[in-house]
Structure 1
Amino acid sequence: MKQLGSIFVRGLLIALPISLTLYLTVWVVEMMDGLFQGVVALLFGKYIPGLGLLLTLGAILIVGVLGSHVVTRSFFDWLNGLLTRIPLLESVYSTIQEAVSFLIGGKENGFQTVVLVRQPDGLGYTVGLLTRHSLPELPTIAGEDRVAVYVPMSYQIGGFTYLVRRDQIIELPEMTPQQALRFALVGGLGRGEKTKAV
């Protein structure tokens, strides 16, 4: 029974990540395919699997092209300004916009550098991600040379943003933000071949 349990756990460790990855991938593809389902049914009289996904990708590309052009970019700037002025929508839109910028906005908009934050009383270090080098919107601490560091929580989706003094952090250029997030998410468990010891 002990050997059977060990084999079951090994199978679970292999099958569960693969299954969840495939499930999430299929869910995203089906959601994107369903966005234009009504349009496809209206044009062709029936639902054609995959055509909605192509239309969604095409629409995203068109928005990207229009957003890159000088003339049409002003419309998106106007729309952005409008959404940030509507009281109820402003907070939702701004939060989604910032989250998308962090996830796919590149190094200049997203997580920039992996850092260690020194804990008081010699308790050790916390792995974090540097998000801001300056905090001009907080004039009360602007003269303290503080930076914003996002610290992810282990085994959870979420974390905390700490405003720490610059001399309290140690930058880790050899570690990527993705490696740091993985490290923090599993509480430091794993073999660690891709990360260097500090």
Structure 2
Amino acid sequence: MPPSYRTGSVMKKTFLRGMLSILPLALSVWLFWSIIVTLDDLGLSFLQLIGWHAAWDGVGFLLIFCLILVVGLAFSVSPILWLYQQFENQMMRFPLFKTVYGAFKDLASLAGNDDSELNQRQTVLMAQTNGSYIVGFITADKMPEALLTALPEEGDWVPVLFQLSYQIAGVTSLVRRADLIYVDWSFEEAMRFMLTAGVSQSSAMKKPT
């Protein structure tokens, strides 16, 4: 093998190693920076509507940040929360709005869960007909009454989420507890394993050369 070919191969591997190492950080910084810039532009637009032109960058972001804090404090007051819930119930009468708003609200609720609530989701294994197993998460201890009525009476049924690799989506199945194998594995670690199809786990176990 010519020396030039070996040199090119080493440079290629080194370049890929550097790119893959810095890419997650670069994408994360870019995403958060884009959010900050968007919120700053939104706040500046609001200030311009009331006739005040900001003299420096970042004022719009601070305004939106303070408004979010005020909203959070307001929703801790029972009368305001009750009024908002009444308004929300009225808006939910519109079918299309109910579908879109419900999806966004569920995502917001999921993002609002702290680590302790996420780790309470039990990681389980479910056997397949070919003798293999798939990893899933019990998402709730209680089933909706409509589903319990439709399901066979025998068995303790629970919803289990089977996450799809490299995708946000997953498949929710209704499974008997007796058919599940409980695993002592945190939700965060198991989710990382499933989202990357085990690639992150394999990479972490590799010894540096």
Aligned mates of 2:80, 2:16 — CA distance in 1: 55
1:90 aligns with 2:98: yes
Larger Rg: 2
1:171 aligns with 2:178: no
1:189 aligns with 2:209: no
Aligned mates of 1:80, 1:47 — CA distance in 2: 38
Q: Which runs of 5+ in 1 are unaligned?
A: none
Displacement, 1:37? Answer: 2.0
Aligned mates of 2:117, 2:82 — CA distance in 1: 21
SS of the counterpart of 2:33? helix
1:128 aligns with 2:136: yes
- How has the CA–CA distance of structure 1 residues 93 and 112 changed in structure 2, closer, same or farther, with 3 Å as cutoff? farther
SS of the counterpart of 2:47? helix
**Of residues 9, 13, 19 in structure 2, which corresponds to 1:2?**
9
SS of the counterpart of 1:44? coil
Moved more, 39-48 or 142-151: 39-48
Q: Which runs of 5+ in 2 are unaligned?
A: 1-7
Amino acid at match of 1:172: V
- How has the CA–CA distance of structure 1 residues 49 and 21 changed in structure 2, closer, same or farther, with 3 Å as cutoff? same
Greater helix share, structure number: 2
- How has the CA–CA distance of structure 1 residues 43 and 9 changed in structure 2, closer, same or farther, with 3 Å as cutoff? same
* TM, length-normalised to structure 2: 0.81
Moved more, 137-146 or 1-10: 137-146
Aligned residues: 194
- Root mean square deviation, CA, Å: 2.6
Moved more, 27-36 or 95-104: 27-36
SS of the counterpart of 1:157? coil
SS of the counterpart of 1:85? coil
Aligned mates of 2:161, 2:95 — CA distance in 1: 27
* TM, length-normalised to structure 1: 0.85
* 1:15 alignment counterpart: 22
- How has the CA–CA distance of structure 1 residues 47 and 131 changed in structure 2, closer, same or farther, with 3 Å as cutoff? farther
CA contact (8 A) 2:123 2:136 kept: yes
**Of residues 50, 55, 59 in structure 1, which corresponds to 2:63?**
55
Q: Could you tell me the percent identity over the aligned residues?
A: 26
